[in-house]
């Protein structure tokens, strides 16, 4: 069994977020209904948008730890620079 530690020999805790999917599906809202197309800034239409959005992202090229990740079907990627993706 692998037990991860950091440089200071402190135990690192890891959590299985995949196990949260059934809980979230049962207890949290999901976007349903007819999709609505819009172009522009959704915050102008709705200050609390909820749904799936196809977006253009501009991430700085010098980030040490990128915060947006996606799966291309084979691996998980953390892109930098300008790219487009679906965000939930």
Q: Could you tell me the pTM of the whole model?
A: 0.51
3-class secondary structure, 84: strand
Q: Give the lowest-confidence range in 48-52, 57-61, 77-81.
A: 48-52
Largest CA distance in the chain: 52
Q: Give the DSSP H/E element, type plus range, for residue 76.
A: strand 76-77
Cβ neighbours of residue 53 under 8 Å, at least 6 residues apart? 42, 86, 87, 88
Q: How confident is the model at residue 2 (pLDDT cuts 50, 70, 90)?
A: low
Query: Do residues 59 and 70 make contact, with C-beta atoms less than 8 angstroms apart?
Result: no
Determine the pLDDT at residue 32.
73
């Amino acid at each position: 069994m692998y037990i991860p530690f950091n440089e200071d020999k402190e135990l690192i805790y890891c959590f299985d977020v995949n196990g949260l999917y059934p809980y979230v599906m049962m207890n949290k809202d999901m976007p349903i209904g007819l999709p609505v197309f819009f172009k522009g800034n959704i915050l102008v239409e709705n200050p609390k948008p909820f749904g799936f959005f196809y977006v253009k992202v501009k991430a700085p090229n010098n980030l040490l730890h990128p915060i947006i990740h996606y799966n291309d079907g084979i691996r998980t990627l953390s892109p930098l620079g300008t790219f487009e993706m679906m965000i939930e």
